[in-house]
Amino acid sequence: MKAEGQKKSYPDMSLDMPKGVYHGMRIELKYGSNGLDEGQVRYLRQLREDGYHSVHCVGMTEAIEAIMAYWYLQPGQLLPPRERDLKWAA
């Protein structure tokens, strides 16, 4: 992904479709027990402050569930905080 121009620590997946109150969605995707590094936490927090729905998902199933919840938001709706994201979003 670096060869494609992605910046270090920037979230792995981007969905540039406004839904609810958000400008788009960003997902940091992990597997197993891998956690977020400080750079990833900084990006997720900044993107959230900038109006993006930013989440940390472990595995594709969790990522798909997060995307589907985002996709079906109605104008003006917010998504409730996910337990996994409460750890870094504070």
For residue 48, the one-letter residue type is R
Report, at the CATH architecture level, how domain 2-89 is classified.
3-Layer(aba) Sandwich (3.40)
State the chain's mean pLDDT as an integer: 92
For 24, how many CA atoms within 13 A lie in the half-sphere containing its CB? 11
Q: Coil, strand or helix: which one is 39?
A: helix
Domain limits, the chain: 2-89
How far is the C-alpha of 18 from the C-alpha of 2, rounded, in Å?
26
Q: Mean per-residue pLDDT for 62-75? A: 98
pLDDT of residue 6: 65
3-state secondary structure 16-41: CCCECCECCEEEEEECCCCCCCHHHH
Predicted confidence (pLDDT) at residue 58 exceeds the cutoff of 60: yes
Predicted confidence (pLDDT) at residue 90 exceeds the cutoff of 80: no
Binning pLDDT at 50, 70 and 90, where does residue 43 land? very high
Structure tokens at 68: 């589907």
- Using the CB atoms, write b or e for 32-44: b if 16+ within 10 Å: eeeebeeebbebb
Predicted confidence (pLDDT) at residue 30 exceeds the cutoff of 80: yes
Predicted confidence (pLDDT) at residue 32 exceeds the cutoff of 80: yes
Are 78 and 21 spatial neighbours (Cβ–Cβ below 8 Å)? yes
